[in-house]
Amino acid sequence: MKNIAVLGSTGSVGRQTLEVAGDLGINVLAIAFGQNIAEAKRQIGRFRPKLACAADPAHAKELSGFCNETVVTSGAEGLAMAAAMDGVDTVVNALAGGVGLLPTISAVRAGKDVAIANKESLVTSGELITREAKENGVNLFPIDSEHSAVYQCLQTDENRRALKRIILTASGGPFRGRKRSELENISPADALRHPTWSMGRKISVDSATLMNKGLEVIEAKWLFGTDVSRIQVLIHPQSVIHSMVEFEDGCVMAQLGAPDMRLPIQYALAGPERLLNSYGRLDFKKLSDLTFEEPDTDSFPCLALAFAAAKAGGLIPAVMNAANESAVNAFLDGRLPFLRIPDVIEKVMYSDSMPQNFRLDGAYTVSDALEAGSFARDEAERHIGRF
């Protein structure tokens, strides 16, 4: 029986992962959670993990002794313990933002497979993580529905060799079809109303700006070992085709399914075996149409910025990611207008203050990636204060 650790267990993906684990009879040996202590208590009571890590030391103290079977810890050290825990086969990284990088590295270096929903890990340190995963003989299983779709289409050696192009689909977010002039007074509440998926606050804003799809482009580059020039994004508002791959002979293979994150989560944990579940099924008789359109990068420039960062290489994606995190947080806090999010990112990416070594390709360390993130956050805050 498989044993897992779930990082970000009280978030949307984390909760659904535990639901899948319960359905499949998978053991949950460790969880790590943020501020939702009520949900954490429920999870500890049900799954009885050996280790629970709280983001807040005060929450760890409150939970101490809640379950005699569970050791409670906190902070970055606790995350590293959960990620490298003896007996764990697969670490599910469903953390939000750059905090997910170090646990991913810890899991890989401990020889654990990683089912990854924390796309920022690969965006900031894709070269490092994929290199060390290969050296340690571990697998990276995608959880995002788009990357899971591509992964499922590339299961055979023949398909991988014949790959010509990856086509990532995007719902378009809550503001699809709007022009830039119509986005002047967008509030955080507006941006959090995703038309298809139920997600956390940060990823919902990223979806609204199309930065989420840009991050997925960079993630796909590393997951599938392909150049960014071979990755395309198409808006597909029905969210039925989760992504496609085109082969050298012109054949296109698509993965379709209900917009339910439990499906890619189950495949990440149990694939390539297809296990019976009670989740929703597509009813083709109810599908009126499947439509596609080019993304509007004039109204939503974050996608173009992500492509530019991917092409620049080096630590520029790490800089872009941290600048985006700062800008999104400022928007959610009411300190930055929605339309200024890409402006802040662009200012940081092309800052004259950026160390030149950030722009160089080649092997880099975790410390290098963290330094790039620190620079970008400081630089972003400087620009946020001017808008």
Q: 244 has which bridge partners?
A: 167, 254
Assess contact for 120 and 215: CB atoms under 8 A: yes
Residue 320 is predicted with a pLDDT of 97
Q: 167 has which bridge partners?
A: 232, 244
Q: Please tell me the distance from the alpha carbon of residue 41 to that of residue 60, in angstroms, as a whole number.
A: 11
Nearest CA to 96 among 231, 188, 215? Answer: 215
Provide the whole-model pTM.
0.92
Q: 74 has which bridge partners?
A: 54
Q: 71 has which bridge partners?
A: 51
Assess contact for 22 and 262: CB atoms under 8 A: no
Q: What are the structural domain ranges in the chain? A: 3-143, 145-312, 313-387
Question: How many CB atoms are located within 10 Å of the residue 248 CB?
Answer: 10
Residue 48 is predicted with a pLDDT of 96
- Which phi and psi (to 5°) does residue 256 adopt? -115, 155
Which residue, chain included where needed, has tokens 């956390």?
Answer: 200
Residue 68 is predicted with a pLDDT of 86
Q: From first to last of the 387 residues of the chain, give the pLDDT tens digit.
A: 799 999 999 999 999 999 999 999 999 999 999 999 999 999 999 999 999 999 999 998 999 888 888 999 999 999 999 999 999 999 999 998 888 999 999 999 999 999 999 988 999 999 999 999 999 999 999 999 999 999 999 999 999 999 999 999 999 989 999 999 999 999 999 998 877 666 778 889 999 999 999 999 999 999 999 999 999 999 999 999 999 999 999 999 999 999 899 999 999 999 999 999 999 899 888 888 899 999 999 999 999 999 999 999 999 999 999 999 999 999 999 999 999 999 999 999 999 999 988 888 777 888 999 999 999 999 999 999 777
Assess contact for 239 and 171: CB atoms under 8 A: yes
Domains 3-143 and 313-387 share a fold: no
Q: Which CATH number fits domain 313-387: 3.30.830.10, 1.10.240.10, 1.10.1740.10, 1.10.510.10?
A: 1.10.1740.10
Q: Please tell me the distance from the alpha carbon of residue 6 to that of residue 265, in angstroms, as a whole number.
A: 12
Q: Please tell me the distance from the alpha carbon of residue 352 to that of residue 225, in angstroms, as a whole number.
A: 31
Residue 248 is predicted with a pLDDT of 96
Residue 197 is predicted with a pLDDT of 62
**What fold, for 3-143?**
Rossmann fold (3.40.50)
